[in-house]
Structure 1
Amino acid sequence: MHTGLVHTLDFDREGKTLGYLSIPFSVDRSPYFQVKVPICTIRNGKGPSLLLMAGNHGDEYEGELSLAKLIRRLDPAAISGRITILPMANAPAVMAAKRCSPLDGGNLNRAFPGDPSGTPTSRLAHFLETELFPRHDVVFDIHSGGTSMEHLPTALVERNADAERHRRGVELMRALGMPFGFVADNGQASPTSMGAARRAGAIGVSGEFGGGGTATVNSMTLTARALDRLMVELGVVAAPVLTSDAEPAKPTRLLSLSRHSQGIYSTRRGWFEPAVRLGDSVSTGQLAGWYHDLERLELAEEAMRFSESGIVLSRRLHTMCEAGDCLMQVAEPVEG
């Protein structure tokens, strides 16, 4: 009763079922407490099997809100196959409006493959990688920049050593209709949901759909369109569910983020003033911004410069920084 993760779901049951993944975790106020992670399964006959998840990080709202809508709007009769929906995978983080779980400090997207007898975040990661992901052909994990980051709207896949599966992953990434997409090189042992999906035999697709810890008209529109386009592309639905327009997807411009030198990092406490905007094309040596020391006002601000050329992919939103904070990232355009 005190380890693992329990549920009462029948993943082969026809129709729509709402339930919980329950993780035992004793706390001061409740010795037999269970972390409740909501989950919805929708099945109608044979067809593709798709897992949709959001709330991997608690302060990334586009996916959470969109998947909540999808649970309410999806009619089982309108799908072919199975759709499983986790609208708030790291539920404690969602409820606390934090990136990581307040129960154990766990960052779910760095917790895979997890541990069945570990912390709640680790137990959930283990269940996802070993039990839930293997039941699905495709895993779509929806992210955004969160409270501290502004991020260029991008789709994402991790590199797959299997050439055919990698090709299909890039194809699905393009089908989302996002303005940009990039391939991450995180290695076979990647602790992310995309690494877990790959090891589980599923094709993983992800993306960054907003930032700043808030949902906007633009970010919600991008998310809804991406969900509809993916479901239609896979054939699990015949027509869009969240959007009404049939606007064709524009070509996705591919980017690559594979080296630490593509980022600018702080080495001490300070205050960062940017000199470029998200999406700008920049070159090696170009000014990225100025780093101020408000505790030593006699010192001039320090010019921060890019080590590599490319397109500004992300920017830290919080002006005050500590040593180790990533201030900006630059992605390299990829041809073909």
Structure 2
Amino acid sequence: MHTGLSHTLDFDRDGKTLGHLSIPFSIDRSPYFQVKVPICLVRNGEGPSVLLMAGNHGDEYEGELSLAKLVRRLDPKQIKGRVTILPMANVPAVIAAKRCSPLDGGNLNRAFPGDPSGTPTSRLANFLEMELFPRHDVIFDIHSGGTSMEHLPTALVEHNTDPDRHRRGVELMRTLSMPYGFVADNGQASPTSMGAARRAGAIGVSGEFGGGGTVTVDTMEITARALDALMAALGVVEAPVLAPATGPSAPTRLLSLSRHSQGLDATSRGWFEPAVRLGDSVTSGQLAGWYHDLERLDLAEQALHFLESGIVLSRRLHTMCEAGDCLMQVAEPVDW
């Protein structure tokens, strides 16, 4: 009763089931406390099996709100196969409006494959990779820039050494109808949900759907369209559930982010002023912005320049920075 993760879910039961994943974690206020992770199963006979998750980081809201809507709206009669929904995977982080869990400092998207006898974040990661992910054909993990980053709407898959599975992942990434998409290569031991999905034998699809610790009309529309498009492409639904049907969108523009030199990092404490906008095309050596030292007003601001050419993919929202903070990332347009 003090270890592991428990649930009472029947993954083969037709209909809609609302339940929890329960993780024991003794705290001062409650010696038999359990972290309760909400989960919804919607099943209608045999067919594709897809897991939709958000709240991997607690301050990324587009997916959390969209999947909460989906839990309420999805009728088993609308689907073929099984849809599993985790709207708030890292519940403690969601409640605290933080990227990482306040219970153990755990960053769920850096915790896979986890440990069944570890901290709550580690136990959850282990259950997801070892028990839940293998039950599904496709894992869709919805992210955004959170409270500290602004991010282009960008779909993502991780590189798969199996050519057929890699090709299928890129195909599904394109079906999301996102403006941009890129393939990450974090290696076989990747601690991310996408690495875990690959090891579990599922196809992982992810993306960045907004940022700033908030949602907008545009980011919610993009997220709704992506969810509907993915479920339709898999044959789970025949008609949109979250958003009205729309006409064809522009093809997804593919990008590559694979080198540390594509990032611009702070090397000391200071205040960053950008010179370019998200989505701008930039060249190597171009001015990226200025770094101010408000504690040394006698020093001129420092000009910062991009090391590589490409498209500005993300930028830090907080003006004050510490050494090691990523200020901007530039992705390289590619063809796959």
- TM score, norm. by length of structure 1: 0.99
Matched, 1:333 2:333: yes
Secondary structure, aligned partner of 2:228: helix
Which residue in the other structure is 2:293 paired with? 293
C-alpha deviation, 1:63, in angstroms? 0.2
CA distance in 2, matches of 1:121, 1:335: 37
Alignment map for 1:194-213 (pairs within 5 Å): 194-213=194-213
Q: Match for residue 86 of structure 1? A: 86
Deviations along 1:65-112, whole A, 9 cap, x unmatched? 000000110010110000000000000000000000000000000000
In 2, Cα distance between equivalents of 1:24 and 1:164: 40
Q: Matched residues in 1 for 2:179 and 2:102: separation?
A: 34
Structure 1 unaligned blocks of 5 or more: none
Over residues 103-140 of structure 1, what are the superposed CA-to-partner deviations in whole Å (9 max), with x where a residue is unaligned? 00000000000000000000000000000000000000
Pairing 1:184-333 to 2, within 5 Å after superposition:
184-333=184-333
Give the whole-Å Cα distance in 2 for the aligned partners of 1:329 and 1:158. 18
Shift of 1:175: 0.1
Question: CA separation in 1, counterparts of 2:105 and 2:43?
Answer: 34
Correspondence 1:45-194 to 2 at 5 A: 45-194=45-194
User: Which shows bigger deviation, 194-203 or 245-254?
Assistant: 245-254
CA distance in 1, matches of 2:136, 2:289: 44
Distance in 1, Cα, partners of 2:12 & 2:255? 39
Contact 1:279–1:313 (Cα < 8 Å) also in 2 = yes
Shift of 1:335: 2.3
Q: Give distance in 1, aligned partners of 2:310 and 2:91.
A: 36
Q: How many residues align?
A: 336
How far residue 249 of structure 1 moved from its aligned partner, in angstroms, is 3.1
Please give the secondary structure, in 2, of the residue aligned with 1:105: coil
Shift of 1:250: 2.1
User: Is contact 1:101-1:121 (8 Å) kept?
Assistant: yes
The letter of the residue matching 2:272 is F
**In structure 1, C-alpha distance between the alignment counterparts of 2:13 and 2:3, rounded to whole Å:** 26
Q: CA deviation at 1:269?
A: 0.4
Tell me how far apart the structure 2 counterparts of residues 163 and 306 of structure 1 sit (CA, whole Å): 34
> How far does residue 244 in structure 1 lie from its aligned partner after superposition?
1.3
CA distance in 1, matches of 2:298, 2:25: 52
Aligned-residue sequence identity (percent) comes to 84
| Structure 2 Cα separation of the partners of residues 335 and 129 of structure 1 | 31
Q: Secondary structure at the match of 1:52?
A: strand
Computed over aligned residues only, the root mean square deviation of the Cα atoms, in angstroms, reads 0.5
Task: Identify which range, 92-101 or 238-247, moves more after superposition.
Answer: 238-247
Residues 283 and 306 in structure 1, CA contact (< 8 A), matched pair in contact too: yes
The alignment partner of 1:171 has SS state of helix
SS at 2:133 equivalent: helix
2:52 is paired with a residue whose SS is: strand
What amino acid is the match of 2:210? G
